[in-house]
Copies of this chain bind each other. A is one copy, B any other.
């Protein structure tokens, strides 16, 4: 069975969203619509302490859809699935419908 990862500090575990390369109806999508690097937040760390010792919690929560940077992040394999770990300050934003 796959192990569960609890990130340390302000790390965020993200599962990348692989955009469908064809529509449900089977029509091939042009390449540019697959360009957005988005992912689903799977787990977040407890945050980091600032200079005064106060805990700064991670500004994201499990289930958030996020825009991730093109580079960076650490690839992690848990069971069959591939994830990426980011520091929360490297996540660019949240995506909403």
CB–CB B91/A8 < 8 A: yes
Are B56 and A49 in contact, CB atoms less than 8 angstroms apart?
yes
Q: Which residues from B are CB-within-8-Å of A94?
A: 5-6, 8
Known: A51-B50, A56-B49. Contact between A13 and B93, CB under 8 A? yes
Assembly CA distance A57 to B15 (angstroms): 30
Interface size on A, as a range, is 35 or more
Which residues in B have their C-beta under 8 angstroms from that of A53? 50, 52, 54
Tell me if A3 and B96 are in contact (CB < 8 A): yes
Chain B residues positioned under 8 Å from A74 (CB to CB): 69-70, 92
Residue A29, interface by CB 8 Å: no
